[in-house]
Structure 1
Amino acid sequence: MHLNPPPAADVAERADAHAVAPLLNCLLREVAEPHGQSGGRRVYRLPGSERLLRVLGERRPAEPEVRTDGTWRRVGHTELVKLVADELRRHTGLSNHELPAEMIDSRDAVAALLTARARATPPDDRYLRSEQCLLTGHPHHPAPKARGGGPVGAWLPYAPEAHARFPLTLLGLREDVVVEEGDTSALDALGEAPPGYRLLPAHPWQLDLVGRELAEAFADGRLVRLGTTGFDAWPTAAIRTLYAPERDLFLKFSLDVRITNDIRRLWRHDLLKLRRTDAAATAAFATGPAAWLSDRGYRTAGFAFEELAVLVRDGLRGSLPPGATPLLAAGLVEGFEGSPLADAADPAAWWEAYLAQVVPPALAAFAEHGVVLEAHLQNTLVAVDRDGLPAQALFRDAEGVKLLPDVSRAAGWERLVYCLVVNHLVEIAGALVEHHPTLDPWPAARRELTRHDLPEIPALLSAPTLPGKTNLLLRWTGADGAAARYLPLPNSLAGRGNER
């Protein structure tokens, strides 16, 4: 733990760097056009304004410069936000005052997190460190760390990136207004409810956000306050999903805050189809080494169905091989102390083991059970053995799962390719190559995919492009967060021959 806060100038510079990279990734993927190189940097043309922009690096572009009066001029995050907003207005013909504010909020949140982390003690547990390391976050979102624009003091005590841990608020919910489905027995073990009431844990930030709406329920006795749990819960990368190590229990809550593309409520329509979706995913993982962390049930109040909903998710211990440590895939990309990706003695063997654990279960769920996993970096855990080699994949989040034929096979496959390949494998491969520059990850990826007898695989391996989600344009145009839109990206898997 650091006793002295970092200098403000250092925090500002690092916050800018963390915020600039994903914003540039969005701009370069969704709007800009490649325009050669200059001074060892990639140059892009912004078609709406005809500006030229150059950046340093590829996976995490940095140090943006704009061509002005014949010279290259560096732009900081604030000016980059203005440049992006102007370009999007020209590109789409639409104005948006909300998203630029979110971009600034995201950068300022990073600055607050950097300052807080300097005073915080990281968890000893490697799994928790992997969940709480995401200072940059989603590498292709314009405002990955925005927290709804609220004051820092309102959200910082609950921020995983600041290594937060805190007890849950316990409420008593009068039995006649309880709504629940599935197995919620774990909630009753969190404390003791008075006669005529059931226990309902709550996220303290959510209570702060919707407290006024609940005043009448507290006044008339439908809700009573019962204190807090005698143990702490740790916020995971998902922020509203908390892990209680003492109980080996995950709990997912509603948060009336926009985080990346969506207001993070447990929406009624998602909860009502949860049992069917989770049952299908559970069946898809009934055999084989991979595990599904079941969203086994939910409990809420009939008068505040979404506001007070809590979802019960399986813990980790019953699913892991002996001696294995689960790690968040997104944490492997971002980096944390003790990451086996950075320390792999044989990166080729590590990558082959990773592919062998992650790819087969995701493809089998699709091909054999019609289950389209949202197998992106934040929904995938990879357990590593004592030598750091991937030994098992664990998938989570029934809310993001799609089922065939609720969606067409073509739409389901496109979603799976985006989540598993573009969002996940491409990012893991890129991070691995940064640590081990001589590795070419794509022959092994092709070999792993070729082992699976799906009719879509040959086209995946030969297509010139892959689907890339357009988070910047989606947010600028105000589209629903679930209404994914894709642009073609160069296919790293294609054009490499048929390796054996």
Structure 2
Amino acid sequence: MPRPSTAEAEIAEELAVVRPALLPAYTGALPGARAAVLTRLWRGLTHEPLPWVAGREDTRSGVVLRLADGRRLEGPASDPYATDARVTAVRLDGTEYDDPARLMTDLAVPHGDSFAAELGHSAASLALSRAGQRDFGGPGEAAPERDWEWEQRVVDGHPFHPNCRSRPGFSVAEQLAYGPEHRPVVELGLVPVPAGECLVSGAWPDELRDGDRLLVPVHPWQAAHVLKRAGEGVAPAGGEGAARAGGEGAASVRGGVGVLAAHPLMALRTLALPDGPHVKTAVSARLTSSVRDISLGSVAASAVLSDFGQAVAERTDGLLRITRTPAAVAAGSPDLTALLRESPEAYAGPGERVVPVAALAATGLPRCPARLARLARLALTVGLRLLDLGVALEAHGQNLLVVLSPDGEPVRLVYRDLADLRVSPARLARHGIPVPDVPDRMVTDDALALRRKLFGSLVAGALAGTAGSGTALRAALEEALPDLPRTDDLSALRDGPLPAKALTLMRLSPGTAGDQWAELPNPLRFGTR
């Protein structure tokens, strides 16, 4: 039995105090959680352009990485599109490692120590997430009815990121209180700010006003750790009212400050009100890779982007709906910001379900090759049509949702969160579409950048994560692609390597701004080498 890492031991100690009944399940989940994180890390090590990997060699038993300092790192063959693989150990110069944090520490590469700490936290938090799921989806579990219930079925987080559950800065009590996989009801604080001090996009609703002040929804973690407002109507994590397990909620007032009871979604800092919109809040902590605040530029551009998204969606013949952002507010800094976003449920017809692509495993769709192929055809039809118009969606499994008919067929798509799309002035001009007034970072005519944005998120992300393996992804694409219009973008998808964010390289390159990319084997030729 390996000695627990620092993060694993710290979580065990806290758990023994705040939820001792969960401790045996947490301890039992640790080996599988380490393997899940190690699997994601091994994918990055074997497929990303890491500067200290001098060469890679496929062998009969797996893969050998030759490091720049002469050492050898050996492990099993890695399918870059697999989600059900389980790497339990790799060997560094003959020494076996089953702990991703210890492996990264002993690799002794630049910035490896900080990444190792994140990996340790990811494995420990993943074990905590899994510990509370023993009966989830079992015989006594009702089928999800609401959109947030589907989101809370995604227990393991990002299917390919080694930091799939990394939540540094969150105590055990806070993870249990705010993590969607634990299914709490979270009470958002409402902080009053004079309207004259706020940047507002769209029409801030009357129910979130108090005279000449705007009531800004604030996540309780943000209130306690960043804004230091715990005790001003926002209960600290673990306290009475911080979160409730199950049940519906609504606006209420406590201590003169309003609160909104809401259900956390996959993004943790975005929550669904029981009978209203989704609320995206600022959480100034590094979750997975990014600090989850909301930039002032995103707030300012939200109304323009919302209108632009609706306009381009109208050109998809009803195959795509984009959720509206009716209002956004920033009260002086990215630390105190919020967006109100339309619920995807608005686009479901009678008997239909709206499910994030990342949660499709719970519907059984990935087990049906025909439906998987229809999903691929639908998603690529929409994605390539918008790309030709000049809009590259970041259509990963969290942003992209699919509307399922009553019998489970994918019939159309819903897309949310427009902050990271890319627009091409030249392509838009060819179709007579004005360029929206959006931040400069979103504007490019570089075909490679546009294709990376779409293909890296949709094919290497959403569709690969749903298919679960390179073989299944290949079969779905072979079925879907012949029906699509022939364009240069489609040719690039068929003939070249598939771009994917180099998630491990990015965590080991803290001084490099923006995305970095890996080139994965083209899934259409997967297994033919």
User: Under TM normalisation by the shorter chain, which class is it?
Assistant: 0.7 to 0.9
Cα distance change on mapping 1:432 and 1:456 into 2, 3 Å? closer
Aligned to 2:364: 340
Other-structure match for 1:76: 98
Deviation at 1:492, TM superposition (A): 1.3
Is the counterpart of residue 384 in structure 1 residue 372 in structure 2?
no
| C-alpha distance 47-97 of structure 1, shift in aligned 2 (>3 A) | closer
- CA change 1:473–1:55 in 2 (3 A) is same
| 1:295 alignment partner in structure 2 | 325
- Does the CA-based 8 Å contact 1:105-1:149 persist in structure 2? no
Query: Which residue number corresponds to residue 221 of structure 1?
Result: none
Q: Which amino acid aligns with 1:402?
A: R
| Equivalent residue number for residue 102 of structure 1 | 118
Query: Secondary structure of the residue that 2:184 maps to in structure 1?
Result: coil
Distance 1:15 1:458, change over 3 A: closer
Query: 8 Å contact 2:422–2:453 — kept in the other structure?
Result: no
Q: Distance in 1 between matches of 2:257 and 2:423?
A: 40
- Partners of 2:347 and 2:121 in 1: how far apart? 38
Report the CA distance between 1:372 and its aligned residue. Answer: 1.4
2:527 paired with 1:492: no
18 and 354 in structure 1: CA distance in 2 versus 1, 3 angstrom threshold: same
Show CA shifts across 1:213-232 (max 9, x none): 8999x9xxxxx952323xx3
Amino acid at match of 2:478: P
Deviation at 1:375, TM superposition (A): 0.8
1:136 and 2:168 correspond:
no
Q: Map 1:142-221 onto structure 2 (within 5 A).
A: 142-185=162-205, 188-189=206-207, 193-212=209-228
Give distance in 1, aligned partners of 2:314 and 2:451: 22
Deviations 1:364-422 (A, max 9, x none): 22212x22111111110011111111111111111111211321241212221211221
Q: Once the 2 structures are TM-superposed, how far is the Cα of residue 45 of structure 1 from its aligned partner?
A: 2.0
Moved more, 402-411 or 373-382: 402-411
Report what 2:46 is aligned to.
28
SS in 2 for 1:367: helix
Distance in 2, matches of 1:100 and 1:149, equals 16
CA deviations over 1:14-71 (Å, ceiling 9, x no partner) = 2223322212221222246553345xx52322423432412377423411231655xx
Task: Give distance in 2, aligned partners of 1:273 and 1:342.
Answer: 36
Q: 2:459 aligns with which of 421, 439, 447?
A: 421
Alignment CA distance shift 1:130-1:25 (3 Å): farther
Q: Quick check: 1:170–1:200 contact (8 Å CA) kept in 2?
A: yes
Judged with a 3 Å threshold, the aligned counterparts in structure 2 of structure 1 residues 100 and 291 are, in CA distance, closer, same or farther, namely: same
Is residue 74–residue 90 contact of structure 2 (8 Å, CA) maintained in 1? yes
The one-letter code of the counterpart of 1:226 is V
Q: TM-score by structure 2 length? A: 0.77
Give the C-alpha shift of residue 491 in structure 1. Answer: 0.6
Cα distance in 1 for partners of 2:512, 2:73 equals 31
Does the Cα contact within 8 Å between 2:193 and 2:213 map onto a contact in 1? yes
Q: Give 1:120 deviation, angstroms.
A: 8.0
Identify the residue that residue 54 of structure 1 maps to in structure 2: 75
- The code of the aligned residue for 1:474 comes to M
Q: What is the one-letter code of the residue matched to 2:509?
A: T
Is 1:254–1:266's contact at 8 Å kept on the other side of the alignment?
yes
Checking the alignment, whether the CA contact within 8 Å between 2:35 and 2:86 is kept in structure 1 is no
1:324 to 329, 349, 352: 352
Tell me the TM-score normalized by structure 1: 0.82
Shift of 1:203: 1.4
- Counterpart in the other structure of 2:477: 442
Give the alignment's Cα RMSD to 1 decimal. Answer: 3.1
Instruction: Judge conservation of contact 1:326–1:381 (CA < 8 Å) in 2.
Output: yes
Tell me by how many angstroms 1:475 deviates. Answer: 1.2
Contact 2:39 2:86 in 1 (8 A): yes
Query: Structure 2: which amino acid aligns with 1:466?
Result: L
Contact persistence 2:163–2:289 (CA under 8 A): no
Q: Give unpaired runs (5+ residues) of structure 1.
A: 219-223
Match for residue 376 of structure 2? 355
How do residues 456-495 of structure 1 correspond to structure 2 at under 5 angstroms? 456-463=489-496, 465-479=497-511, 483-494=514-525
Distance 1:260 1:283, change over 3 A: same
Q: Which runs of 5+ in 2 are unaligned?
A: 1-20, 235-254, 426-442
1:254 to partner: Cα distance = 0.7
Q: Residues 194-218 of structure 1: CA distance to partner in whole angstroms, max 9, x if unpaired?
A: 43333222211211122338999x9
- The aligned counterpart of 1:65 is 90
Alignment partner, residue 312 of structure 1:
340
1:455 to 443, 465, 488: 488
- Provide, for residues 141-192 of structure 1, a one-character-per-residue CA deviation record: whole Å limited to 9, x for no partner: 221211124322233301012122223222332333233111332xx336xx
Contact 2:296 2:330 (C-alpha < 8 Å) held by counterparts: no
Aligned-partner Cα distance in 2 for 1:442–1:178: 47
Question: Is 1:407 aligned with 2:444?
Answer: yes
User: Matched residues in 1 for 2:393 and 2:328: separation?
Assistant: 20
Residue 246 in 1 paired to residue 275 in 2? yes
Distance 1:430 1:215, change over 3 A: closer
> Kindly, what percent of the aligned residue pairs are identical?
23
Aligned counterparts of 1:471 and 1:131: Cα–Cα separation in 2: 23
Length, aligned pairs only: 454
Q: Using the alignment, how far apart are the partners of 1:14 and 1:424 within structure 2?
A: 23
**C-alpha contact 2:58 2:77 (8 A) present in aligned 1:** no
Query: Which amino acid is 1:477 matched to?
Result: S
Structure 2 vs 1, CA of residues 8 and 278 (structure 1 numbering), >3 Å: closer, same or farther? closer
User: Is the contact made by 1:284 and 1:365 (CA closer than 8 Å) also made in structure 2?
Assistant: yes
Residues of 1 paired with 2:56 and 2:149: CA distance? 37
Q: In 2, Cα distance between the equivalents of 1:480 and 1:486?
A: 12
- CA distance in 2 between counterparts of 1:416 and 1:342 reads 21
Are residues 214 and 300 of structure 1, via their aligned partners in 2, closer, same or farther at CA, if it must alter by over 3 Å? farther
Mapped to 1, the partners of 2:35 and 2:215 lie a distance apart of 44
- Structure 1 residue aligned with 2:144: 125
Q: Is the 8 A contact 1:183 1:296 kept in 2?
A: yes
Take 1:486 and 1:423, find their aligned partners in 2: how far apart are those partners?
13
C-alpha distance in 2 between matches for 1:214 and 1:157: 15
CA distance in 1 between partners of 2:172 and 2:142 (Å)? 22
Check whether the contact 1:19–1:136 (CA below 8 A) recurs between aligned residues. no
- 1:277-296 alignment runs, 5 A limit: 277-287=305-315, 288-289=317-318, 290-296=320-326
Q: Is the 8 A contact 1:173 1:200 kept in 2?
A: yes
